[in-house]
C-alpha cells in the first residue's frame, strides 16, 4: 500500500471517528458530580476500599486490558514513586486478540488465558484490585467501586468498548439480550469466545454468518480473519457449508488484497463476501438477518454489532458530544488523553476518540507513551507526544499457517489539533506467508510478556 492509498483508507475507515479526533470544548475540570450506573447522580456510600495507605501519588488505572495493564506496569517503572492500583472487574484474564486462531485449533485456550492479574501486579510492584467501577467524583478525586471508594491523584480509565446494537436495528432490551446470548459478536468478553468456539466445533454445514459493522470498530481485519479461520474448519472437515460475510462497508476495510486473495484462492466456494450490506435487523427465532433489501437465512452466526466506547464512559459523564464522536467515546485531549480541562483524569485504549485503530498493538504502544506522560505530569514536567503504532497480523490460512500484516503510524496536524491520517512509513504485507504465520504467534507472546512479566 503506498502512502496515498493508506491515507485514503485511513480517511475512509476512520472517517466517522475522525471527526471525533478534534477535541475542544472542555467538559469542565471539576465537572461531573458522582455518576452512578443509571447515569443519574449516585450517592457514594463513603466506605473506603480496603487498600494499603498510598505511599506516593496514587495512580488508579481502571481496566486490565491491553491499555490498562501496560499503563499500570510502565507508569510505575517510569516514576517509581507512583502508588499504582489496577481496578479490574474480571478475576480471570483471557485475550480478545488471537481468539480467532483458537477456533481453527491453531492454539489452545491456555494461550489466551494462562495469564494472571495477580502475577502482573506482583511482578511489577502494583496492586490488582478486583472490583467494578460504578461512579466518579472528580471534584473530590474519588473513584467509586463495588468494593468501596478509592482516592486518586491521577486516574486512567481504559474500559474498552461496548456494542451498539441500535445501529444494527436491534433496539429493545429483550431483543438485544436474545441476540447477544444466541449469536455473540465475540469482540468484548471471553465468554463470547467460548460460545463461538463451541459453535464452530459443532457446525455441521449450511450457512455460518459473520457480520462486519461500519465505523471504527475494534480490530478492522479481525472479522475477515475469523471468516478465514472458520472456513478452514469447514474445509478440513469437508462440510457442505459456507461462511457468509455480510459487510456493511463497500470494500474490505484493511489489507484488501491479502484478504481477497485468501477468499478467492483458499476458500473459493466456502467464503461468500457481500459488500455494502449493513445489517438492519435480526430475527433470532427465525434465524434471519435483514439488510435493506433482503432477509437472509443462516444456520449459525457471530453477529458483530457496531461499537461504541464502554458504557462506563457515558455513565461517568465523560462522553464527547456527538459532533466530536459518533461512537460515544471520551472527550479527551488529542495528544495527551486527559479529559478536557482536567489534568487528573485520562481515557485511553479503545474508549478514546482519536481515529486510531482499536487494536492491542495500538493500546500497548499508546500505553507506553501515556505512562511516560503521566510520569512527566506527576513531576511537573511537560509531557512529550508520540504516536502509537499499529502492527497487526491476520492469519488467513490454517494449514499451513500463513498470515498477512500491516504496520502503521499516524500523523498529527498541530494547526487543526487532529490526527489526520496514516504516516508515510505505513506498510501492508499482503502476500501471505509462513514466516508471518509464525510471527502472528510471536507478536501475541510479546504483548503478553510486556503486560504480565517483570
Ligand atoms: C476477535 C478479536 C481479534 C483481535 N485481533 C487483534 C489483533 O490481531 N491485533 C491487535 O492488535 N488487536 C486485536 N484485537 C483488538 C484488541 O484485543 C483490543 O483492541 C485491545 O485489547 C483493546 O484494549 P483495551 O485495554 O482498550 O480494552 P480491553 O482489552 O477490552 O480491556 C478493558 C478492560 O476493562 C475492564 N472494565 C470495563 N468496565 C469496567 C468497570 N466498570 N470496572 C472495572 N473494570 C472494567 C474490562 O473487564 C476489561 O478487562 C482483537 C480483538 C478481538 C475481539
Whole-number pLDDT of residue 212? 99
343 and 284 in a single domain? The answer is no
Query: Which amino acid residue places its CA nearest to atom 29 of ligand 1?
Result: 65
Give the CATH number of the domain where residue 66 resides. 3.50.50.60
Cell (9 digits) for 369: 507513551
In a domain, 247, yes or no: yes
CA dihedral sign of residues 266, 270, 276, 279: negative
Cell (9 digits) for 95: 485475550
Whole-number pLDDT of residue 46? 81
Q: Is the pLDDT of residue 63 over 90?
A: yes
Vertex 286 angle, CA 282 and 291, to 5°: 35
* End residue of a domain, out of 359, 383, 407: 383
φ/ψ bin of 297: left (φ > 0), alpha (ψ from -120 to 50), beta (otherwise): beta
Query: Which amino acid residue places its CA nearest to atom 41 of ligand 1?
Result: 133
265 and 358 in a single domain? The answer is no
Distance 286 CA to ligand 1 centre (A): 32
* End residue of a domain, out of 289, 307, 325: 307
Could you tell me if 432 and 402 are in contact, meaning their C-beta atoms sit under 8 angstroms apart? yes
Distance 231 CA to ligand 1 centre (A): 25
Select from 349, 352, 437, 447 the residue to mutate for testing ligand 1; criterion: most ligand atoms less than 8 Å from CB: 349
Could you tell me if 308 and 162 are in contact, meaning their C-beta atoms sit under 8 angstroms apart? yes
Across 217-334, the runs of DSSP E, i.e. the strands, are 241-247, 271-274, 281-283, 288-290, 295-297, 300-302, 306-309
Query: Which amino acid residue places its CA nearest to atom 9 of ligand 1?
Result: 392
Least confident of 2-6, 90-94, 226-230: 2-6
In a domain, 454, yes or no: no
Query: Which amino acid residue places its CA nearest to atom 35 of ligand 1?
Result: 63
Q: Label the pairing between strands 390-398 and 281-283.
A: unpaired
Looking at ligand 1, which atom is closest to the CA of residue 351?
Answer: 26
Q: Is the pLDDT of residue 349 over 90?
A: yes
Distance 187 CA to ligand 1 centre (A): 8
Does residue 75 line the site of ligand 1, with CB under 6 A? Answer: no
User: pLDDT of 126-138, one tens digit each?
Assistant: 999 999 999 999 9
Q: Give bridge partners of residue 150 from the DSSP assignment.
A: 143
Question: CA-CA distance, 116 to 182, in Å (whole number)?
Answer: 29
User: pLDDT of 280-325, one tens digit each?
Assistant: 999 999 999 999 999 999 999 999 999 999 999 999 999 999 999 9
Query: Which amino acid residue places its CA nearest to atom 50 of ligand 1?
Result: 97
Q: Which residues have C-beta within 8 Å of that of residue 58, sequence separation ≥ 6?
A: 82, 83, 84, 85, 150, 151, 152, 153, 154
Q: Which residues have C-beta within 8 Å of that of residue 73, sequence separation ≥ 6?
A: 120, 124, 126, 371, 450, 451
Whole-number pLDDT of residue 19? 30
Question: CA-CA distance, 440 to 428, in Å (whole number)?
Answer: 14
Distance 94 CA to ligand 1 centre (A): 10
In a domain, 327, yes or no: yes
Q: Between the CA of residue 325 and those of 197, 331, 340, 357, what are the distances in Å?
A: 33, 8, 14, 15
Question: CA-CA distance, 231 to 268, in Å (whole number)?
Answer: 10
Whole-number pLDDT of residue 88? 98
Sheet containing 401-408: give its strands across: 390-398, 401-408, 427-433
CB atoms within 10 A of CB 284: 18
Least confident of 45-54, 104-113, 210-219, 415-424: 45-54
Does residue 440 line the site of ligand 1, with CB under 6 A? Answer: no
237 and 291 in a single domain? The answer is yes
279 and 322 in a single domain? The answer is no
Q: Which residues have C-beta within 8 Å of that of residue 55, sequence separation ≥ 6?
A: 83
Whole-number pLDDT of residue 36? 34
**Number of domains the chain is built from:** 2
Distance 67 CA to ligand 1 centre (A): 8
In a domain, 178, yes or no: yes
* End residue of a domain, out of 307, 325, 343: 307
346 and 367 in a single domain? The answer is yes
Q: Could you give phi then psi for residue 139, rounded to 5 degrees?
A: -65, -40
Whole-number pLDDT of residue 268? 97
Whole-number pLDDT of residue 45? 64
* Kind plus residue range of the DSSP H or E element containing 185: none
245 and 375 in a single domain? The answer is no
155 and 49 in a single domain? The answer is yes
Mean pLDDT of the chain: 92
Whole-number pLDDT of residue 30? 30
**Better-predicted residue by pLDDT, 31 or 119:** 119
121 and 252 in a single domain? The answer is no
State mean pLDDT over 345-356. Answer: 98
DSSP for residue 298? -
In a domain, 280, yes or no: yes
Q: Is the pLDDT of residue 376 over 70?
A: yes
CB atoms within 10 A of CB 205: 13
Could you tell me if 383 and 180 are in contact, meaning their C-beta atoms sit under 8 angstroms apart? no
153 and 102 in a single domain? The answer is yes
Does residue 62 line the site of ligand 1, with CB under 6 A? Answer: yes
Structural domain containing residue 276? 163-307
67 and 103 in a single domain? The answer is yes
Q: Is the pLDDT of residue 406 over 90?
A: yes
Whole-number pLDDT of residue 168? 98
Annotate 202-221 with DSSP letters as a single string. H--SEEEEEEE-SSS-BSTT
24 and 52 in a single domain? The answer is yes
Query: Which amino acid residue places its CA nearest to atom 15 of ligand 1?
Result: 359
Does residue 278 line the site of ligand 1, with CB under 6 A? Answer: no
Annotate 49-101 with DSSP letters as a single string. PS-PPPSSSEEEEE--SHHHHHHHHHHHHH-TT-EEEEEES-SS---STTHHH
Query: Which amino acid residue places its CA nearest to atom 28 of ligand 1?
Result: 65
168 and 303 in a single domain? The answer is yes
Q: Give bridge partners of residue 135 from the DSSP assignment.
A: 144
Does residue 365 line the site of ligand 1, with CB under 6 A? Answer: no
Cell (9 digits) for 287: 434465524
In a domain, 254, yes or no: yes
Does residue 361 line the site of ligand 1, with CB under 6 A? Answer: yes
Distance 202 CA to ligand 1 centre (A): 27
Does residue 192 line the site of ligand 1, with CB under 6 A? Answer: no
Does residue 60 line the site of ligand 1, with CB under 6 A? Answer: no
In a domain, 414, yes or no: no
State mean pLDDT over 110-118. Answer: 98
Annotate 11-62 with DSSP letters as a single string. HHHSHHHHHHH---S---SS----B-TTSSB-----PBPS-PPPSSSEEEEE
User: pLDDT of 6-28, one tens digit each?
Assistant: 444 553 444 333 333 222 222 33
User: pLDDT of 277-292, one tens digit each?
Assistant: 999 999 999 999 999 9
In a domain, 413, yes or no: no
Whole-number pLDDT of residue 65? 98
Amino acid at each position: 500500500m503506498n502512502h496515498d492509498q493508506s491515507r485514503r483508507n485511513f480517511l475512509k475507515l476512520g472517517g466517522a471517528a475522525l471527526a471525533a479526533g478534534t477535541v475542544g470544548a472542555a467538559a469542565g475540570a471539576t465537572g461531573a458530580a458522582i455518576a452512578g450506573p443509571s447515569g443519574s447522580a449516585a450517592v457514594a456510600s463513603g466506605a473506603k476500599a480496603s487498600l494499603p495507605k498510598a505511599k506516593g501519588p496514587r495512580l488508579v488505572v481502571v481496566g486490565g486490558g491491553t491499555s490498562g495493564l501496560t499503563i499500570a506496569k510502565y507508569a510505575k517503572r517510569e516514576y517509581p514513586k507512583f502508588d499504582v492500583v489496577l481496578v479490574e472487574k474480571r478475576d480471570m484474564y483471557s485475550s480478545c486478540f488471537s481468539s480467532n486462531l483458537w477456533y481453527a485449533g491453531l492454539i489452545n485456550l491456555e494461550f489466551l488465558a494462562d495469564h494472571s492479574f495477580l502475577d502482573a501486579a506482583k511482578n511489577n510492584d502494583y496492586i490488582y484490585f478486583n472490583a467494578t467501577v460504578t461512579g466518579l467524583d472528580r471534584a473530590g478525586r474519588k473513584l467509586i467501586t463495588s468494593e468501596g471508594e478509592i482516592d486518586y491523584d491521577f486516574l486512567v480509565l481504559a474500559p474498552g468498548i461496548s456494542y451498539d446494537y441500535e445501529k444494527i436495528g436491534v433496539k429493545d432490551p429483550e431483543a438485544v439480550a436474545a441476540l447477544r446470548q444466541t449469536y455473540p459478536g465475540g469482540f468484548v468478553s471471553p465468554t463470547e469466545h467460548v460460545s463461538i468456539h463451541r459453535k464452530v466445533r459443532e457446525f455441521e454445514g449450511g450457512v455460518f454468518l459473520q457480520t462486519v459493522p461500519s465505523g471504527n470498530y475494534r480490530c478492522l481485519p479481525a472479522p475477515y480473519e475469523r471468516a478465514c479461520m472458520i472456513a478452514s474448519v469447514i474445509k478440513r472437515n469437508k462440510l457442505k457449508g459456507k461462511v457468509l460475510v455480510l459487510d456493511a462497508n463497500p470494500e474490505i476495510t484493511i489489507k484488501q488484497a491479502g484478504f481477497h486473495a485468501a477468499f478467492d484462492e483458499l476458500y473459493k466456494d466456502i467464503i461468500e463476501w457481500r459488500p455494502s450490506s449493513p445489517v438492519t435487523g435480526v430475527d433470532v427465532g427465525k434465524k434471519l438477518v435483514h439488510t435493506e433489501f433482503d432477509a437472509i437465512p443462516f444456520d449459525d452466526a457471530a453477529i458483530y454489532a457496531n461499537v461504541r466506547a464502554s458504557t462506563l464512559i457515558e455513565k461517568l459523564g465523560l462522553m464527547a458530544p456527538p459532533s466530536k464522536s459518533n461512537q460515544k467515546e471520551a472527550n479527551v485531549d488529542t495528544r495527551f488523553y486527559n479529559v478536557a480541562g482536567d489534568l487528573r483524569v485520562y481515557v485511553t485504549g479503545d474508549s478514546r476518540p482519536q481515529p486510531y485503530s482499536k487494536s492491542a498493538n495500538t493500546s500497548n504502544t499508546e500505553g507506553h507513551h501515556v505512562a511516560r506522560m503521566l510520569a512527566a505530569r506527576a513531576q511537573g514536567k511537560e509531557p512529550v507526544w508520540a504516536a502509537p503504532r499499529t502492527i497487526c497480523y491476520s492469519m488467513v490460512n490454517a494449514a499451513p499457517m500463513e498470515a498477512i500484516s500491516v504496520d502503521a503510524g499516524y500523523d498529527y496536524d498541530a494547526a487543526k489539533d487532529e490526527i489526520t491520517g496514516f504516516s508515510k512509513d505505513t506498510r501492508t504485507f499482503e502476500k501471505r506467508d509462513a514466516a508471518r504465520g509464525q510471527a502472528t504467534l510471536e507478536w501475541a507472546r510479546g504483548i503478553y510478556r510486556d503486560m504480565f512479566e517483570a
